[in-house]
Amino acid sequence: MVWRSALNHAAWRIKGELTGMKLCKVADIRDWDDPEFQDIASLVRCDTKNHKTWEFIQVYKGLKHLGLLDGQAACLGLGVGHECLIYAFTNVCQSVVATDLYESQNWSTASMGVEDVYQRNPMPYDRSKLSVRHMDMTQIEYPDESFDFVWSCCSVEHVHNFTLLHQVYQEIHRVLKPGGIAALTTEFNSTDWHSYEPNMLFTDAYWLKHWLEKEDCIIQGLQLLDPIDLSLSDDARNLPHARRDPGHSIQICCDDVVLNSVAFFLRKTADAPTPYVEASWLPEFWQLYLKGCDCRREGQFEQAESLFKSLLDLDTLEKRDRIRTLHYLGNVLAVQNKLDEAKDIAQELLQLCQSDPPLADQDYPVKPIASLMAIASFCDNIGFPDEAQELYRKVILSKASTMDVVIRSFLKQSDYYREKQDYTKALSLLDEATQILQHNAFHQEFNAKIQYAYGKCLRDLNQPEKMMRSYWQLIQGESEILAHFPRLLLDFINNCLTDESGKNNTISIKIGDEIIDLAAILEQVSRHLTYLANSTTESNNLLARLYLCAGVLSLKLQNQGQEQEQKQEQDEASTLQYFEAALKQASFDSPIRSRAQKRIDNILARQARSQS
């Protein structure tokens, strides 16, 4: 493979400079003042103005200015989910490879199957040029010098530690053709303190200096095309927004930092990558902290405990870092069943966390508490439920809390008061959560969890009719919403199988003022089961229970239903399919298997008797 000429490299860079294109920079609301930026936003279907959509537009615009979107380039996307650039690049490149940990349970953007990605296009695209692969970006399964450019938007930082991050950059260097371009964006921590958590290694100015900007920087063989500009225009729209409602926001509050996005374009040079030496740049606290997190993840709990305890002895330990260390230490102690020590840790955590004012009263960049929800849950589970409620309330007030964390906090508090039989308080908290969701269309998946919590309160209050009415309204809706909490569907079916007197002899049920035929209910249940089954490739005992209960419901209808022989055979075949699906979904050691098999054997025996 021949290197592209130095003249071509210079031409790319000069072309960007002549057109005023700044490649390496942070997101800024004023970037949308550029007509070309607006045109690209329309092209890639990015209607909102926030730091996430900025990444897609900036990457596309930069690659266009570098002359790489002329229909000739072979490109690779890392951790790209089903983002818009996948499809946009098929229209301007020779070939596009999209990779991610597809069918993963860890990242919502990668949770779809490989085949689903082909159907998620927001624009017309050339499918013949697209290849979608399940692939780990630390081990790219392509030969050396395969691609003209590699792109990734806020994905490379989502690895466990910096050793793996360095490996990602080495892999990018390896698969790029000589002179090839890496167009990358990462989440950028704009505060003066670090936030290097496993899978959340947020880039900051310190990281950029040591990894990309110094002459002897850690990443060798990939050269910045221009200096990174971290400045922001003096525009109020650039100020940090609450994380729960990012909308049109450039910077958002996230745990104990403020996040923006930064883009950097790197050109592959002849320099060979160098081995990674963590001690050359990373402060001692973060070296030990991430090592302890690695041990915890790998199940080496004694080693993790020792590392976290050694951190607590550091003279330079700040309060925020002491809190994050205590949190992890408490968890590894609890896993080892060292409950007395874990409770001591929880008490210290509560004291440190409760001494801060509510986070809604803090203006960033005040140093707030990271992972407050996780700390509240730990203290709650370890034996301090009363004290944990104050932390849950702080989570709700915090600008740094995501919408899902806010709703979970409401649900935790509601459960607490329900167990204390303070149903007025429990229901009022659920009402608050519902009101918040009414103003946020992007988080309707929490409706199922909230309705299930309502149902538990109404059951305790001996109001099953109201419970079933609220369930039924949700069950008649979209499967995508119910899929986030299928336990509600299971609860609904179980209630349908037993009337108020506990008899299983009816083919209809009263829900509110309606009398609903169980056949109509089974039709809705089947619809949701089909969606749920297509959404997972793994054995699922909850889904197996749903199929088992649906089979019992179908069997009940079959026994009480029409007497036409042909119809009865069809119903029996459908019932058999439910039980067979339950058998398929159940894990090897689940008791559901024997129950499903018994139902199948009974049906087959009855069919044999009928034929004889």
Tell me if 461 is assigned to some domain.
no
Q: Are residues 162 and 225 in the same domain?
A: yes
Q: Which CATH number is 331's domain given?
A: 1.25.40.10
Q: How far apart are the first and last CA of the chain?
A: 75
- pLDDT at position 567 is 53
The reply to whether 316 falls in a domain is yes
Residues 174 and 186 in one domain: yes
Omega of the bond prior to 365 within 30 degrees of 0, cis? yes
Q: What is the DSSP string of 381-429?
A: HHT-HHHHHHHHHHHHH-TT--HHHHHHHHHHHHHHHHHTT-HHHHHHH
Q: Is residue 83 part of a domain?
A: yes
Residues in the chain with pLDDT values less than 70: 1-20, 104-111, 246, 355-370, 440-444, 499-508, 512, 536-539, 560-570, 612
Residue 454 lies in a domain: no
191 and 311 part of one domain:
no
Residue 390 lies in domain? 283-401
| C-alpha pair distances (Å), 588 with each of 66, 541, 544, 585 | 55, 10, 12, 9
Q: Which residue has the tokens 């139902």?
A: 599
In-domain check, residue 551: no
512 contacts: CB under 8 Å, gap ≥ 6: 465, 466, 468, 469, 472
302 within domain boundaries: yes
When divided into structural domains, the chain yields a total of 2
Closest CA to 126 of 88, 97, 100, 152: 88
81 and 199: one domain? yes
> 62 and 141 share a domain?
yes
pLDDT of residue 63: 97
CATH number of residue 166's parent domain:
3.40.50.150
Indicate if 270 and 325 belong to the same structural domain: no
**Domain end (from 254, 282, 310):** 282
Does any domain span residue 323? yes
The tokens describing 578, both together, are 């439910």
DSSP 48-97: S-SHHHHHHHHHHHHHHHTT--SS--EEEEES-TT-HHHHHHHTTSSEEE
| Confidence at residue 356, expressed as pLDDT on a 0 to 100 scale | 59
**Are 255 and 231 in the same domain?**
yes
Taking a C-beta distance cutoff of 8 angstroms, is the pair 605, 584 a contact? no
3-state helix, strand, coil split of the chain in percent (to 5) is 55, 10, 35
Task: Point out the domain boundary residue: 401, 429, 450.
Answer: 401
Are residues 299 and 162 both part of a single domain? no
Answer yes or no: do 318 and 346 share one domain: yes
In 195-286 the beta strands, taken as DSSP E runs, fall at 196-197, 200-201, 222-224, 240-241, 251-254, 257-268
| Together in a domain, 120 and 252 | yes
Neighbours of 186 (CB within 10 A): 25
Q: Are residues 297 and 397 in the same domain?
A: yes
Q: Which of 588, 507, 515, 599 is nearest to 553 (CA)?
A: 507
Tell me the per-residue pLDDT of 500-523, one tens digit each, with 9 for 90 and over: 434 444 566 777 677 888 888 888
Position 516 scores a pLDDT of 82
Task: Please indicate, yes or no, if residue 57 is contained in any of the structural domains.
Answer: yes
207 and 353 in a common domain: no
Domain termination site, one of 238, 264, 282: 282
